[in-house]
């Protein structure tokens, strides 16, 4: 006999992203703040001034992507157990994407899920990690291979935290903003061309549009089956660039900038984009001193790398290409010789 | 400025529980079976006869609750990565509750979630773990403290696997069945009084009713805020019994049987249950040779133990009591002296 089980869906997730000076936050529960020494050194005092809780504890984990591991998450979990957090307790992620991913993941695991709040302190995490619910860690097999989909209860984006951010890291965040504009919104792209993101009001406006676009995309496709893949524009090429340079030469956003230029070249080759449009994107990236040039030493090696990516496990590569500026097209099963001809535009001069 | 985010809920979870001889199962994806040496020794050959997959791998983890840890889950994850599972791959939990909890948890973590199927081989896991989506592991701070809510794609309940189950373990499963009947369904209770669960057809009928009741309860309350707590009938007392006897004397279901008898005594004391009804429950438990007697050496110690349970973190104990047979009542803030007077019924004779 068969018993059909149909479970009701959980309620829709609702939360607010506040883009403003960090307000006073008061909680009648236990709170654990997760941060790293760099962010804590610059900004922890200011956070603690704003924060009231029934019991407050700060966990500091080492700074850097190489510590985004299950071991670090276990360390955070242990501190949560030592603090005897209950199911109503709250975690606060205070840092960049690494802190956000690990804190959200820890919150998802603790007693099968407690609340967490994001206070992202890098531009990349402000525009990218505020929406989407992807949490997790790396392991020896690759990046973000272990994790959970888990949504925050609130996100506070305070651009004042960006004042201590290195210029290159700021630009890496801009690369993700440009990505959203090229994929989804020509008018937003034009705004970015003329905007001064050093100006607080214009920066906040750019962040607002970026998170709104991402929320729209995520709602189209909560599980990255279809349109959410478009958020990987620039990433298919960028991952290979990162890998070839051992993750030491470029920040992720910088590699994505190079990857977008490469994807644009492929789009031009396929008549999806005018050469002038590709130039427009390149010029916008260069306005923020993002790298747009890369020398591919070995075209065949570069091409083979596509197939090592976890997202192309079934041996067909999906390319996310712009379709003009402000629109996109997912293209599969491209001819190898065509792709290599485009890669050759970036090839080492003989 | 505030950007309100509202994410659409995921689709309702739907899956079938098949209560029958295990059918042929064929998958055009990679499959990893997770089991332990005991179950594998008795039944793996039979499973593999039924199973076809693009690529099939068996992971064997040590048998026992003490191995239900994050370390074992990491070991399973590592084997999944070695097998290069992709997002379409499938895990199969083949064993009791420990295997089911860890396999479901692993599936939830691998690339943020891949499918899994339950083939439970103990009566307890057939009636209890088939519905509810609770997955996870223990750690030094307690049981099931790290985990995720994650639903299977299908459950196959084949009572033939129970033929090698020790009698005590079978009875421990019956305890959970009796629990459901006492809490929710007088007619089901009457069925159990006359049924012969050694008969395959009647056993299947009992399992069917139990999983249907549990699905109904879970749908009332996916997050254990309200009615789902009723599933803890017998557990508040049972946990203390398990703890006092160092988890070595009684199986979990046996401790729950004792716990139900204690809860019933408290219900009688409060006029929620007639003494004859309490006797009826006790007689049904004894029909399956479940323990219904326990000597509390120290009433005060036993009482204090309630407050160490994770579910009473805020220092008020919720007692789940029968309200007659087939109905329940959650009672809070009971007078300490009344509870201790009831406990004294089980106290060591001076």
Q: Do A135 and A223 have their domain in common? A: no
Which residues does chain A have within 8 Å of residue B6's beta carbon, measured at their own beta carbons?
12-14, 219
A290-347 tens-digit pLDDT: 999 999 999 999 999 887 755 545 567 889 999 999 999 999 888 899 999 999 999 8
Burial (0-12, 13-18, 19+ Cβ within 10 Å), B83: middle
From A139, which residue of chain B is nearest by alpha-carbon distance?
A: B78
The answer on pLDDT for B277 being more than 60 is yes
Same domain for A321 and A236: yes
pLDDT in tens, A118-150: 999 999 999 988 888 999 999 999 889 999 999
Examine the pLDDT at B251 and tell me if it is beyond 80: yes
Residues A11 and A150 placed together within one structural domain of the fold:
yes
Q: Examine the pLDDT at B244 and tell me if it is beyond 60.
A: yes
Contacts of B314 in chain A (CB under 8 A): 86
**Best CA proximity match to B113, nearest among B8, B217, B13:** B13
- Give the pLDDT score at B9: 76
Residue A9, token pair as written in the block? 């869906």
Is A239 found in the same domain as A337? yes
Domain co-membership, A218 together with A134: no
Q: Which residues of chain A have pLDDT under 70?
A: 222-225, 309-315, 349-350
Output the six-digit token pair for A82.
């030592």
Q: Is B305 a catalytic residue?
A: no
Mean pLDDT of chain A: 93
| Entry field: residues in chain A | 350
Question: Which of A142, A164, A186 lies at the terminal end of a domain, its last residue?
Answer: A164
Average pLDDT of the residues in B117-130: 94
Question: How many distinct structural domains can be found in chain A?
Answer: 2
Q: Is A219 exposed, middle or buried (0-12, 13-18, 19+ CB in 10 A)?
A: middle
- CATH, residue A8: 3.40.50.1970
pTM beyond 0.95, yes or no: no
Q: How much is the pLDDT for B328?
A: 95
* pLDDT tens column, B37-74: 999 999 999 999 999 999 999 999 999 999 999 999 99
Whether residue B252 lies in the annotated active site: yes
Asked if A18's CB is within 8 angstroms of B2's CB, the reply is: yes
Q: How many CB atoms lie within 10 A of CB A228?
A: 18
Q: Is A112 a catalytic residue?
A: yes
CA–CA separation, B233 and B179 (whole Å): 7
Residues A181 and A218 both lie in one domain: yes
- Token couple for B115: 């499918």
Q: Are residues A149 and A194 in the same domain?
A: no
B258 and B224 both lie in a single domain: yes
Do the beta carbons of residue A94 and residue A119 sit within 8 Å? yes
- pLDDT score for A245: 92
The distance of A272 to chain B (nearest Cα, Å) reads 30
Evaluated on CA atoms B192, B196, B198, B201, the torsion sign reads negative
| ipTM score for this prediction | 0.92
Query: Is A313 found in the same domain as A194?
Result: yes
- The continuous run of DSSP H or E covering A45 comes out as helix A37-50
Contacts with A144 from chain B: Cβ below 8 Å: 112
Q: Model confidence over B74-122: pLDDT tens digits?
A: 999 999 999 999 999 999 999 999 999 999 999 999 999 999 999 999 9
pLDDT mean across residues, chain B: 93
Query: Which residue, among B179, B190, B172, has the nearest Cα to B213 in the 3D structure?
Result: B179
Domain boundary among A110, A136, A164: A164
**Beta carbons of A204 and B70 less than 8 Å apart:** no
CATH number at residue B177: 1.20.1090.10
Q: What's the pLDDT score for residue A310?
A: 52
Together in a domain, A143 and A172: no
How many contacts, defined by CB atoms under 8 Å, are there between A and B?
164
Tokens of A92: 């606060």
Q: Which residues of B touch A134 (CB under 8 A)?
A: 112
Rounded-to-integer distance, Cα B94 and Cα B116, Å? 11
CB contact under 8 A, A12 and B15: no
Cα–Cα distance for residue pair A157/A129, rounded to 1 Å: 11
User: B147 vs A219: CB contact, 8 Å cut-off?
Assistant: no
Quote the CA–CA distance of A92 and A52 in Å, as a whole number.
12
Q: Report the chain A residue with the minimal C-alpha distance to residue B204.
A: A1
Residues of chain B found within 8 Å of residue A110, distances taken between Cβ atoms: 145-146
Predicted pLDDT of residue B220: 81
Instruction: Say whether both A188 and A120 belong to one domain.
Output: no
Closest-CA distance of chain B to residue A148, Å: 5
Q: What are the tokens at B31?
A: 């499959």
Which residue among B81, B145, B148 sits closest to A108, beta carbon to beta carbon?
Answer: B148
pLDDT score for B11: 78
Last residue of a domain, one of B164, B179, B206: B164
Phi, psi of B297 (to 5 degrees): -75, -40
By Cβ distance, the residue of B2, B109, B222 closest to A148 is B109
Which residue of A109, A131, A141 is in closest CB contact with B146?
A109
Whether B224 is catalytic is yes
Cβ atoms of A119 and A93 within 8 Å: the answer is yes
CB of A114 within 8 A of CB of A87?
A: yes
* Residues B17, A11: C-beta atoms closer than 8 Å: no
Q: Is B239 a catalytic residue?
A: yes
Per-residue pLDDT at A143? 87
**B193 and B310, same domain (yes or no):** yes
Return the residue of A nearest to B17 by Cα. Answer: A3
Give the range of the structural domain holding residue B13, as residue numbers without chain letter: 2-164
Residue to test with chain A: of B1, B2, B3, most A Cβ within 10 A: B3
The distance of B156 to chain A (nearest Cα, Å) reads 9
């Amino acid at each position: 006999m068969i018993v059909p089980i149909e479970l009701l869906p959980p309620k829709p997730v609702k939360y607010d992203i506040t883009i403003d000076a960090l307000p006073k936050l008061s909680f009648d529960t236990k709170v654990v703040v997760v941060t790293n020494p760099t962010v804590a050194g610059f900004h922890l005092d200011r956070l603690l001034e704003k924060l009231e809780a029934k019991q407050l504890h700060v966990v500091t984990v080492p700074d850097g992507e190489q510590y985004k591991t299950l071991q670090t998450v276990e360390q955070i979990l242990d501190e949560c157990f030592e603090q005897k957090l209950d199911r109503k307790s709250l975690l606060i992620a205070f840092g960049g994407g690494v802190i956000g991913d690990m804190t959200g993941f820890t919150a998802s695991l603790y007693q099968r899920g407690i609340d967490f709040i994001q206070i992202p302190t890098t531009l990349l995490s402000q525009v990218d990690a505020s929406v989407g619910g992807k949490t997790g860690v790396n392991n020896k097999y690759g990046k973000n291979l272990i994790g959970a989909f888990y949504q925050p209860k609130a996100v506070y984006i305070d651009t004042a935290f960006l004042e201590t951010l290195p210029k290159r890291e700021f630009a890496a965040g801009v690369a993700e903003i440009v990505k959203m504009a090229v994929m989804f919104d020509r008018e937003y792209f034009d705004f970015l061309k003329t905007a001064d993101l050093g100006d607080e009001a214009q920066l906040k406006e750019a962040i607002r549009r970026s998170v709104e676009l991402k929320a729209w995309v995520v709602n189209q496709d909560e599980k990255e089956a279809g349109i959410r893949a478009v958020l990987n524009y620039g990433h298919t090429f960028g991952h290979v660039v990162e890998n070839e340079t051992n993750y030491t030469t470029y920040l992720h956003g910088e590699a994505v900038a190079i990857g977008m230029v490469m994807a644009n070249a492929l789009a031009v080759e396929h008549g999806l984009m005018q050469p002038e449009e590709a130039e427009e994107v390149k010029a916008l990236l260069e306005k923020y001193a993002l790298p747009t040039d890369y020398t591919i030493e070995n075209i065949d090696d570069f091409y083979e790398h596509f197939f090592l990516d976890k997202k192309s496990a079934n041996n067909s590569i999906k390319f996310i290409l712009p379709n003009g500026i402000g629109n996109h097209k997912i293209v599969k099963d491209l001819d190898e010789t065509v792709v290599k001809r485009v890669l050759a535009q970036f090839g080492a001069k003989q």
